[in-house]
Structure 1
Amino acid sequence: MAAIDDKIQATKFIVQTHKSFDQIRAAGLAAAAAASGGLTKVVENQVDTDASIQYSVKRGGFLDVMSFGLVFSTTSDESTNTVLLVPGQYFTSQATFLFIPVGPKASAGYAPLKKFSDHVRASLS
């Protein structure tokens, strides 16, 4: 079984698209809504116009358990745009028994990040 770090790194992608920054932001908002549920919410934190969009995964509505972003760039002839998903910082947890680690590490932000990544990649393809 792959370590949680490897699973999170596997959500990265680079996509070439003809969509504008505003269309990509709309796709990100739709993906954030689709990836949210129960105790976990994906929220847009910061938007650097025509450059990047930062997101965070909040657990219980207040605890940031992961951050990630979409980076936007355009080619010199402005015919295609490149979108890159970059995972940021995240918390991991591991079950213990008598202070001895048992089982693999997990991250509360992995499942929402995976859903977000899949949704955005599909909408930009």
Structure 2
Amino acid sequence: MRRAPDIAPQHYYDPTLCPVRAVVSQIGDKWSLLIFAHLAYGRHRFSQLLGALPDISQRMLTQTLRKLEREGFVNRIVTPTTPPRVDYELTELGLSLIEPLSALSDWALRHRSDIEAARERFDSRAK
């Protein structure tokens, strides 16, 4: 098993200097991860994404898609119809994240019961 270093490099503590924090803060929220999961299967219309994520608001979906577009992870494709058709797809950069995100997802599935057991142990101590 790999061991963490005894102390993290100083730049990890400064959010303006740490490249990992800068990237993870843009993709690490639940909505971004769920949008990545859906767009990994191809282009989707805004309404399809909204339907696939029933607990996201229209405003939050719009904000998250704009953020992902700004960061270079998502392309927004507007087809001039009446009403305009808007589709979203992952860019090459976005597609390059699918493998590490899949690894994280696989890890979460493998360890879900371990995490639930740890929560139960912790919660039982609090009672």
Query: TM-score category by the smaller chain?
Result: under 0.3
**Which structure has the higher relative contact order (CA within 8 Å, separation 6+)?**
1
More strand by share: 1
More helix by share: 2
TM-score, normalising length from structure 1?
0.24
